[in-house]
Amino acid sequence: MIDLYTWTTPNGRKVSILLEELGADYTAHAVDITKDAQFAPDFLKIAPNNRIPAIVDHDTGVQMMETGAIMLYLAEKHDRFLPKGKDRWAAIEWLMWQMGGLGPMLGQVHHFVKYNAGKSAYAEERYSKEARRLYGVLDRRLAGRDYMIGEDRGAYSITDMACWPWVSRFEWQEIDLGDFPNVRDWYLRIAERPAVQRGYQVPKYVTDVPIP
């Protein structure tokens, strides 16, 4: 049994989508970041960096923060969605790309373009330009592939699950997916998965159980 502490952000949705894909037994707990719930002392015990999501795995006693680490842990625990051999390292490589580039840079676009438009023309231009560059990187990666990792069209993995929730906010980023046809097709392919649709709604179905 896993307790997932999360909110409706791309980072939160990465983990809930993976848990749904795994068919794992978990309970979602809302950490309302709009009310600074991530700074609550009880949550700090699980996530010292005051960021969602975080998990507590009662089967193993493991508690973790940071989405990349959580996704690697869950994939290894269930032996699913993390390729073997050289593709394993490609999956980790592109997972790091998401965590170090795609996520942080698109987050800056959300901040300056969607929520604070007109506050800094320099920041809007800088991060919007970088967003388009990163979409171009992803588009080239997906050329000839259905998914990001592997040959022969690739295989669905945690790397796709990590990137997809950020791309799902393309409208916030003022990105026309028609400009990136490989990304568009990949986005639509993953959006059709029932587990992705369920995971995207978390924490719609949440409990209000206090953090243990």
* Overall size of the chain counted in residues: 212
Judge contact between 20 and 165, C-beta under 8 A. no
Task: Provide the whole-model pTM.
Answer: 0.94
- Enumerate the domain spans of the chain: 2-80, 86-193
Q: What is the pLDDT along the chain (212 residues), one digit of tens a residue?
A: 999 999 999 999 999 999 999 999 999 999 999 999 999 999 999 999 999 999 999 999 999 999 999 999 999 999 999 999 999 999 999 999 999 999 999 999 999 999 999 999 999 999 999 999 999 999 999 999 999 999 889 999 999 999 999 999 999 999 999 999 999 999 999 999 999 999 999 987 544 433 33
DSSP E strands, 8-92: 26-30, 54-57, 62-65
- CATH (one of 2.40.50.40, 3.40.30.10, 3.40.630.30, 3.30.390.10) for 2-80: 3.40.30.10
CATH fold of 86-193: Glutathione S-transferase Yfyf (Class Pi); Chain A, domain 2 (1.20.1050)
